Amino acid sequence: MDAFITPQNLAIAGLVILLLVALVARHFVNNKHAQGPRNRFGADHSQDIFEMSQRTQAEEQRLERERTAPTLSR
């Protein structure tokens, strides 16, 4: 049993745990970032990005809607 608990094995286990924590954190950050525009502009924003297959065009259109939205509500 003591043969398995070596400094090298502990270091490897620590790196594996650190990697898993980083992957989980990245997953949650990406999901939260992806939900921002969806919650703010509706599901059509995600559909626009998918259909155009160019995120930059969808972002430009979103910014234009964001600029014109306050003027339309007055």
64 within some domain: yes
Each residue's pLDDT tens digit, 22-47: 999 998 887 776 666 666 777 677 67
34 within some domain: no
62 within some domain: yes
Alpha carbons within 13 A on the beta-carbon side of 68: 6
Each residue's pLDDT tens digit, 42-72: 767 767 767 766 677 778 888 888 888 776 5
63 within some domain: yes
Classify residue 59 as exposed, middle or buried by CB count within 10 Å of its CB (0-12, 13-18, 19+).
middle
56 within some domain: yes
What the block records as the tokens of 53 is 């297959």
Q: Which domain holds residue 72?
A: 42-74
Distant-in-sequence, close-in-space partners of 49: CB < 8 Å, separation ≥ 6: 55, 58
Smallest CA-to-CA distance from 41 within 56, 71, 63 is with 63
